[in-house]
Amino acid sequence: MHPPKGVLGTSDGVVKSTAMTAVSRLGEIRLSEKITAYIDGGSRGNPGPAAAGFLLKDEDNKIVAAKGFFLGETTNNIAEYTAIIKALEKAGKLAAKKITVFSDSELLVRQINGQYKVKNDNIRILFKQAVDLLNKFEDWHVQHITREKNSRADNLVNQALNLQQDVEINGAEKPTKPPVRLGVLISGGGRTLINIAEQIESGLLNAEIPLVISSRSTVAGVERAGAAGLNVKIIRTKDYPDVEQFSKRIEQELVEAGIELVIQAGWLCLWRIPPAFTNRVMNIHPALLPSFGGKGMWGHFVHEAVLAAGCKVSGCTVHFCTNEYDKGPIIVQRCCPVKDDDTPDTLAARVFEQECIAYPQAIKLFAEGRLVVEDSKVKKINSIVSSEKKIKE
């Protein structure tokens, strides 16, 4: 007797749905007939420190595996081919019969599809390995997408590069700790908020956003937060007689929502941080503090000042907030070059790329209990510490 269509028969006669989880001692593996893979690879120097990454989704658009691989010194092309090979190997282990691979490397896509010849001997070996793996599937497609649509795989590559080690998130695995509850404060477009929300959705960040507070009612960030299904509260300074009442209302909303960490994401208002939230409020600044900080130094004003000073390097800083502008212990800093022909707009775009990496990294460190503040300086530790020690002054 054959099992009904859509189910899988086993040797002991038990019938299981193919959508169910097959459990082994190594963890949970979701079986899916069709897998969609997003792959990326790159090096900082070409050749230079390199990493590859992939993210696999099942037929229900759920992440079943995501991993970044630190490769040491190599080239962009080798990293790109390593990514597709690793993705195909993982999809094969998940017993997938069909696969669609998305890559932002136009060269790799054209080579795999037979439009370009592979001339490099090292790449030719990897090319053959990738094609052999693809041919094990009943049906396969390799397609090009823009880098913007491949941000999750790109994030895995950057994480592996930043940590100089492999990183892995399996969509079938449950986090070992409850997600950290974030309260996000915005005053503008909400791009940073959406970046963090996407990191959470992709499984790269063990967090949730039960509350968004906007200091303005008509900004794009409010619309974006609403479209993402987030709970948004409007708290405007002009609706309160002074900064103390304004701050108390913010604190009330944060406490009622059970917020563990406050994220200022383009927040432009001064509020008094209460003692209970000491070292529990983060901000990101579009320059390398303590330079180019202070009252009035935000957005384009910062980038204009950096260019006027003739700086050759800029970047971003994530720090714990105090009740002074752009002060407080520094958690993460990331750098980028300043080019001779930069404008405030072009520099801002390059800095924002680093912000999209730095903020999730800082949140992850907090969520894992790996930040300790001593003598007004942040120390990153490898082991997990209690939240009581984590936020001590």
Contact 285, 326 (CB under 8 A): yes
- Nearest to residue 112, comparing CAs of 91, 89, 130? 130
Q: Which helix (H) or strand (E) holds 336?
A: strand 330-337
What are residue 237's DSSP bridge partners?
none
Would you list the DSSP string of 139-201?
EEEEEE--GGGGHHHHHHHHHHHHHTS-EEE-TTSPPSSPPEEEEEEESS--HHHHHHHHHHH
Residue 49 corresponds to which tokens in the numbers above? 């420190």
Residue 173 corresponds to which tokens in the numbers above? 């695995």
The residue to which tokens 């752009």 are assigned: 326
Neighbour tally for 86: CB within 10 Å: 21
> Omega of the bond prior to 3 within 30 degrees of 0, cis?
no
Backbone angles phi, psi at 16, to 5 degrees: -125, 145
* Residues identified as active-site: 285
By CB atoms closer than 10 A (0-12, 13-18, 19+), residue 273 is buried
SS3 224: helix
Q: Strands, E, within 241-311: which ranges?
A: 261-264, 281-285
Provide Rg for the chain, Cα atoms. 23
